[in-house]
A and B are shown apart, each in its own frame.
Chain A
Amino acid sequence: MLAEMRRVSGKLDRAVLIAVALCFTLTVAPGLVGGDVFAAKVLGTPVTAGFLLCLILALALLWSVDRYDRRCVRSLEPLGPQARDAESTRAGHVRQAPHTLFSRPGDNQW
């Protein structure tokens, strides 16, 4: 399970980073090349349209990441603290955290 989480998490993180990097590139590109921003083009696409597309892509990816996070929490939940500790021990995690992930669900909110 940890290997799967690591793989998916890594992919999503990289996707978000690439989307953010693309947005940044399209933000700074007009400033570097100068001229009319509405006319300037990168790879044949107008800079403004490209920027908006990347921003939408970044937001969609953030939404996917959120969905993935929820799925992770749900998939770990039935295991309970003991199974979680076993999982972590198998992966080399030997120290015990002061509280476990599901030790006091929903408790002490404010």
Chain B
Amino acid sequence: MRALALSAVSSYDHGFVVVGFMIFIVVALFLAIMGGPDGDSPEEFAVGSRTLTPFKNGAALSGTYLATTVLLNVTATVALVGFDGITVAVDLLLSLGLLAVLARPLRQSGGRTLGDLFALRFSGAAPRIAAAVATLAVSVPFLVIQLSSAGDVTAQLLGMSSIGAKQTCTVVLGVLVVLCPMLGGMKGHTLVQILSCAVTVVALGVATLALLAHFHGDFGALVSQAAQNSGQHDQYLQPGHAMGTTSLGRLDHLGLQLALVLGTPCMPHILVRIQASGDGAAARRSVRNACFIVAAVCLTLVLLGFGAAAVVGGGAIIDAGTDGNSSLLLIAHSLLGGSTSALGNLLFTAVACAAFLSVLSVVGGATLTAASSIARDVYLHAPRRRQSVPRGEVPVARAAAAVLGCVGIFIAVVLQGASTAFGSQLTMGIAASSILPALIYSLYWRGYNRTGLVWTIYGGTILALVLPVFSPRSDTSSTFVPHVDFAWFRFQSPALVSVPLAFLLGWMGSRMGRSRTTATDERRRLEADTLQLIGAGAERTG
């Protein structure tokens, strides 16, 4: 069956896919170069001079939000587990609600990195170093997962299934992904993200219309057939089956959803995208615009997930890969006459190109953010560099992007074929456990101080990194000590435990460091508080 499912995809005219990819590679590089910064201004390189209109920034934010793993995982979850998959799509939308609240004070604070935000309120190098650590702890695994996942899909689309072919695809994609932000900076990369968003909306919209036409517009028939062909029948439309029906399984699913809602808006590349808006009001309007686009795409993903279960069948999807990530491609392959018609070929190519562009869009953003953080928080503001800066921020950021890209590609190639779901949960867990508590406390709690910040970020990061190692998913016991069971942490996602603990650590750290708070710290807090209300470094963009 697996061979059947894969051969169905590989029976496609690969010429279409190859030509589609080549066209979009050329267009993306062209946009990155033409839209790139005119000079060596760090403000222009890192946040596009903050001149993006809410419409453009909203589209780019949607392009950033709709990662390859989101497109593939949401469709796969709906196709395989039904109702619980819909909740994943809803969680993605709710996370934008949280981002809408954070957007205004974040943008009003100014700054180009997470370190800038913390440095506004806390003195010394420690807050910047902690911010850089959190940024890298989230961005590097994110880079690896997206590249590895994209390498798998690209090889499959080109009709190759060997591990060597997948690794080659990962390397080629990785080079492209690093080139776009290096050449284009924030402005050039924004154009790539807008292109990615447009292609995704159009391709998935057409695929959904084709799916509804396949069922003559009868949504009830689509859902009934999905439930029937999924192999789960009545359970398919009932909640609470994604991670098993035990209390532990249900709590585990809650933890995953919590990580998704709290972690996604706190990914560093999403936070920096907010900084590209003209002012706080424009930042919120960007998020509002992104809400509409992401909601539309999530709706199409849910329908295509049902379509995959109904048309392709749950068994065939699992045979093509236990994680079900082939669902989107398999359903796109089955519509508009499939490989026997030109329209079918075109639709399949469009969906494949949407997945391909989402890699360029999202991974490029993560690389740019991590590189900016290294250049600004570590290199430029490290104590030894304060007096004399031998090189500018932008060349250092470009070099950091190249190094990060190489490291990311190397790890992705080594881990090719490993579970991307585990990595995704890890990344979300780190963002939700370290960055979210630090942001909430920094923006809304007067008693928060430098000790609390350091405890929150390092404590949250360590908890989110260590707990999954002892989860059943990590295979630690079988890998290192075959006869000892280390899997004492029963949840797949650490968020349910690590997020409250990180908040607690922040509170405890602030209590412990209260005696070290000086008048200067209080003055800085007042400055930051005022800045969050009236804004800084802003240019109105309507």
Contacts and interface: CB of A to CB of B under 8 A. Distances in A.
A105 to B, nearest CB: 5
B418 interface: no
A31 B240 contact: yes
B538 interface: yes
Contact of B288 (A19, A66, A93): A66
A45 interface: no
Nearest to B531: A93
B238 A34 contact: yes
Contacts of B51: 108-110
Interface in A1-32: 2, 5-6, 9, 13, 16-17, 19-20, 23-24, 27-28, 30-32
Interface residues of B, number: 52
B537 A73 contact: no
Interface of A is mostly: helix
Contacts of A27: 87, 90-91, 94, 257
Interface string B530-541: 110111111111
A35 B238 contact: yes
Given A31-B84, A62-B288, A102 B540 contact: yes
Contact of B87 (A2, A28, A69, A92): A28
B280 interface: yes
Nearest to A89: B530
Interface in B210-265: 237-240, 242, 245, 250-251, 253-254, 257, 261
Given A84-B534, A101-B538, A92 B254 contact: no
Contacts of A70: 281
Interface in A32-66: 32-37, 58, 62, 65-66
A32 B526 CA distance: 43
B326 to A, nearest CB: 25
B315 interface: no
A31 B152 CA distance: 32
B367 interface: no
A66 B538 contact: no
A1 to B, nearest CB: 9
Contacts of A108: 49, 51, 539
A34 B537 contact: no
Nearest to A38: B237
B508 to A, nearest CB: 24
A20 B98 contact: yes
A32 B97 CA distance: 23
Contacts of B52: 110
Given A31-B87, A66-B284, A93-B531, A99 B523 contact: no
Contacts, number: 147
B381 to A, nearest CB: 16
B104 A69 contact: yes
B257 A28 contact: yes
Contacts of A24: 91, 94, 257, 261
Interface string B287-306: 01001000000000000000
Contacts of A5: 533-534
Contacts of B474: none
Contacts of A2: 530, 533-534
Contacts of B100: 16, 62, 65
B539 A91 contact: no
A87 to B, nearest CB: 7
A78 interface: no
Contacts of B257: 24, 27-28, 31
A88 B279 contact: no
B104 A30 contact: no
B113 to A, nearest CB: 15
Contacts of A110: 51-52, 187
Contacts of A13: 101
A73 B526 contact: no
A42 B106 CA distance: 35
A30 B482 CA distance: 38
Contacts of A35: 238-240
Contacts of B279: 73, 101
B534 A99 contact: no
Nearest to A65: B284
A13 B104 CA distance: 10
A17 B239 CA distance: 25
A62 B291 contact: yes
B83 A37 contact: yes
B527 interface: yes
B53 interface: yes
B189 interface: no
B98 A97 contact: no
Interface in B57-100: 83-84, 87, 90-91, 94, 97-98, 100
Nearest to B278: A109
A109 B282 CA distance: 13
The 10 closest A-B pairs by CB, nearest first: A92-B526, A69-B281, A97-B536, A30-B239, A20-B97, A93-B530, A34-B240, A31-B239, A91-B530, A31-B240
5 contacts: A32-B254, A33-B240, A62-B97, A73-B540, A105-B539
Given A62-B288, A101-B538, 14 more contacts: A2-B530, A24-B261, A28-B87, A34-B238, A34-B239, A34-B240, A37-B239, A62-B97, A65-B284, A73-B540, A93-B527, A97-B536, A99-B539, A104-B539
Interface of A: 2, 5-6, 9, 13, 16-17, 19-20, 23-24, 27-28, 30-37, 58, 62, 65-66, 69-70, 72-73, 76, 84, 87-88, 91-95, 97-110
